Amino acid sequence: MAEGACSECGAAVMKLLDATKHDRLREAIRTNANLAEIDEDQTEELVCVGTNTPLRLPENPSMNDKIIHNWQLYAGRYDNKTVDAHLASIRDFEDFFEGQCFSLTKDKDVGKYRKWLLEKGELPREAGGFSASTIRHRASHLAAFFKWLGKQDGYRRLSANLFEYFALPRQKMARVLARPDKIYPSIDEALTMIQSMPTITRTQRRDRAIVAGAFVTGLRAAALSTMRLKHIDCVAKTAVQDARDMRAKNGKSFMIRWFPVPEAFHDVVVSWKEELAKDGFESDDALFPDVKYLYRPKVGTDPIPTLQTNGVVNRAFQIASNGLGKSFSPHSARHCLKALGDKLCTRAEERKAWSLNLGHESVVVTDTHYGKMTDRARLQVLDSLKEEDRTSDDEKELLLKYFFHALVPGSPEHRAARILVRKREAALDDDVLE
pLDDT digits (tens, 9 = 90+) for 91-141: 999 999 988 999 999 999 999 999 998 888 888 878 888 888 888 889 999
User: Do residues 228 and 304 share a domain?
Assistant: yes
Q: Is 70 inside a domain boundary? A: no
User: Do residues 291 and 330 share a domain?
Assistant: yes
**What confidence score (pLDDT) does residue 235 get?**
93
Each residue of 365-396: pLDDT tens digit?
666 666 566 666 666 666 655 544 566 777 87
Average pLDDT over residues 191-215: 94
**What confidence score (pLDDT) does residue 408 get?**
80
User: Do residues 113 and 44 share a domain?
Assistant: no
Q: Is 77 inside a domain boundary? A: no
User: Do residues 141 and 191 share a domain?
Assistant: no
User: Do residues 154 and 198 share a domain?
Assistant: no
**What total number of domains does the chain contain?**
4
Identify the three-state secondary structure at position 323. Answer: coil
**What confidence score (pLDDT) does residue 173 get?**
63
Q: What are phi and psi of 187, to 5 degrees?
A: -65, -30
Judged on CB neighbours under 10 Å (0-12, 13-18, 19+), 408 is: exposed
Each residue of 281-292: pLDDT tens digit?
999 999 999 998
Q: Is 425 inside a domain boundary? A: yes
Question: Which of 218, 263, 260, 262 shows the shortest CA–CA distance to 241?
Answer: 218
Q: Is 76 inside a domain boundary? A: no
Q: Is 147 inside a domain boundary? A: yes
Choosing from 154, 179, 204, the residue where a domain stops is 179
Residue-averaged pLDDT of the chain? 81
Task: Compute the distance between CA of residue 336 and CA of residue 416 in angstroms, rounded to an integer.
Answer: 49
User: Do residues 151 and 204 share a domain?
Assistant: no
Q: Is 68 inside a domain boundary? A: no
User: Do residues 169 and 194 share a domain?
Assistant: no
Q: Is 386 inside a domain boundary? A: no
Range of the domain at 27: 1-61
To the nearest whole percent, how much of the chain has pLDDT over 70?
Answer: 77
**What confidence score (pLDDT) does residue 119 get?**
86
Average pLDDT over residues 39-60: 47
User: Do residues 195 and 175 share a domain?
Assistant: no
User: Do residues 124 and 258 share a domain?
Assistant: no
**What confidence score (pLDDT) does residue 290 get?**
92
pTM over 0.75: no
Choosing from 375, 404, 419, the residue where a domain stops is 375
User: Do residues 55 and 143 share a domain?
Assistant: no
| HSE of 36, CA atoms in CB hemisphere, 13 A | 8
Average pLDDT over residues 161-178: 74
332-344 and 187-196 helices, crossing angle to 10°: 130
User: Do residues 405 and 371 share a domain?
Assistant: no
Query: Using 50, 70 and 90 to split pLDDT, how confident is the model at 197?
Result: very high
Q: Is the pLDDT of residue 407 over 60?
A: yes
Query: Using 50, 70 and 90 to split pLDDT, how confident is the model at 294?
Result: confident
Choosing from 179, 209, 231, the residue where a domain stops is 179
Task: Compute the distance between CA of residue 367 and CA of residue 40 in angstroms, rounded to an integer.
Answer: 36
DSSP 58: -
CB–CB of 149/158 below 8 Å?
yes
Q: Is 264 inside a domain boundary? A: yes
Of 73-87, 310-324, 381-395, least confident by mean pLDDT is 381-395
**What confidence score (pLDDT) does residue 172 get?**
62
Q: Which residues contact 306 (CB under 8 A, 6 or more apart)?
A: 225, 226, 227, 228, 246, 286, 287, 288, 289
To the nearest whole percent, how much of the chain has pLDDT over 90?
Answer: 33
Average pLDDT over residues 240-261: 87
- Most distant CA atoms of the chain, gap in Å: 101
**What confidence score (pLDDT) does residue 182 get?**
74
User: Do residues 343 and 406 share a domain?
Assistant: no
Question: Domain holding 366: CATH number?
Answer: 1.10.443.10
Q: Is the pLDDT of residue 210 over 90?
A: yes
